Structures are given as structure tokens and as C-alpha cells.
């Protein structure tokens, strides 16, 4: 049996520049839950004075979540830009790879909650720059792979990777 389809070889499947945004689907789920909390608060108001505390709590919590999630949902600016020359995160300038000493995905545990951050250090600043990635449209594993790819493409042997031991996507 012979195949008539020629072999397809992809030498570089990663683009020259990657822009990472807020995940619309993740934000939409929280927006729907916030609206449900507001509706439940209105329902509690119709039940009378006995449910006033619950109604106010639903209004405050649901309204705050709705405001911040709508703000993220309508935000069209990229949160992380990675390319062959360097990287940029929201509210920070562009840094060339030559000025970045280490970068990667780090895990922050607070009680029972676990948060993942994209962190990097530069030669220009002594502090670490960190951006939470849980609500972005990329997994922590893919972000780590992209960082490694762009660094290796820039041929930085003295670079320190901040890789997690367990990069399983959950």
C-alpha cells in the first residue's frame, strides 16, 4: 500500500511573536455567576427586611466581581508579548532578552488556593516582575514552552529557567 500524500514537515510551528490576552471564556463564566448573585440579591430584597443582610452581601460581592470581570472581558490589550527580541508584560516596558536574567512560571500557594504567575527578573531592576496567568488564554505548560523556545532561539546559555517540576495542565 502506497500513500500518495507527500510528507509534511513543519520546521518552526511557533510564530515570531506571541500575544497573550485575557481568556474570554474564563471571564464569561465569572460574569454569569456574578449576574446570578445580583439577581439573587434582588430576590432577597423582595422577601423582606429579614433577608436584607444577605441581599446586601450579594449586591456587594456580585457587583464587585461583575465590575472587575467586565473590565477584564472588554480589555483588548495583550497581557504578555513574547518574541525573538524580548518580552513585555502589561504596565511594564519591553525588555530585550539580553537584560532578562530569569523567567518562567512560578507557583504561589495561599492556604488551599494555588495561583500561577509568570515572573521574570531583569538586570535593570533588582525586583521581580510578576503577572498572574490563571485567567489568560494560555496554559502554564504552553507558556513555559514558549519562554524556553524564544530564549533558545535567542541563544542565551546563561539564562535561568524558572520551571515547575509538575507542569501538568489541570
pLDDT at position 123, please? 87
Q: Give the pLDDT mean for 158-165.
A: 56
Q: Are 116 and 132 in contact (CB under 8 A)?
A: yes
Cα Dmax for the chain: 79
Q: Give the pLDDT mean for 116-144.
A: 90
**Statement: residue 92 has pLDDT above 60:** yes
pLDDT at position 67, please? 95
pLDDT at position 32, please? 95
Beta-bridge partners for 121: 102, 128
Write out the H or E segment, with its range, that includes residue 102. Answer: strand 100-110
Identify the band that residue 161 occupies on the pLDDT scale cut at 50, 70 and 90.
low
Closest by alpha carbon to 22, among 156, 153, 164, 138? 138
Identify the band that residue 11 occupies on the pLDDT scale cut at 50, 70 and 90.
low
pLDDT at position 170, please? 47
Query: pLDDT, tens digit, for every residue of 29-51?
Result: 999 999 999 998 888 888 887 88
Its pTM stands at 0.76
pLDDT at position 1, please? 46
Q: What is the mean pLDDT of the chain?
A: 84
The Cα-based distances of 100 to 32, 77, 82, 95, 147 in angstroms read 39, 23, 12, 7, 12
- Separation between Cα atoms, residue 99 and residue 80, nearest integer Å: 17
**Statement: residue 14 has pLDDT above 90:** no
- DSSP assignment of 25-85 equals HHHHHHHHHHHHHHHHHHHHHHH-GGGHHHHHHHHHHHHHHHHHHHHHHH--S-SEEEESS
Amino acid at each position: 500500500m502506497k500513500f500518495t500524500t507527500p510528507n509534511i514537515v513543519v520546521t518552526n510551528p511557533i510564530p515570531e511573536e506571541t500575544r497573550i490576552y485575557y481568556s474570554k471564556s474564563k471571564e464569561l463564566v465569572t460574569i454569569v455567576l456574578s449576574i446570578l448573585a445580583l439577581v439573587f440579591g434582588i430576590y432577597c430584597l423582595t422577601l423582606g427586611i429579614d433577608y436584607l443582610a444577605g441581599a446586601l452581601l450579594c449586591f456587594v460581592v456580585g457587583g464587585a466581581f461583575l465590575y472587575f470581570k467586565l473590565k477584564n472581558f472588554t480589555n483588548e490589550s495583550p497581557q504578555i508579548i513574547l518574541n525573538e527580541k524580548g518580552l513585555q508584560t502589561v504596565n511594564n516596558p519591553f525588555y530585550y532578552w539580553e537584560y532578562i536574567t530569569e523567567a518562567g512560571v512560578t507557583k504561589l500557594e495561599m492556604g488551599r488556593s494555588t495561583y500561577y504567575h509568570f515572573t521574570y527578573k531583569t538586570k535593570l531592576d533588582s525586583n521581580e516582575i510578576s503577572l498572574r496567568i490563571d485567567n489568560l488564554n494560555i496554559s502554564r505548560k504552553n507558556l513555559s514552552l514558549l519562554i524556553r523556545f524564544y530564549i533558545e532561539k535567542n541563544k542565551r546559555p546563561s539564562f535561568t529557567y524558572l520551571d515547575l517540576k509538575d507542569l501538568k495542565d489541570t
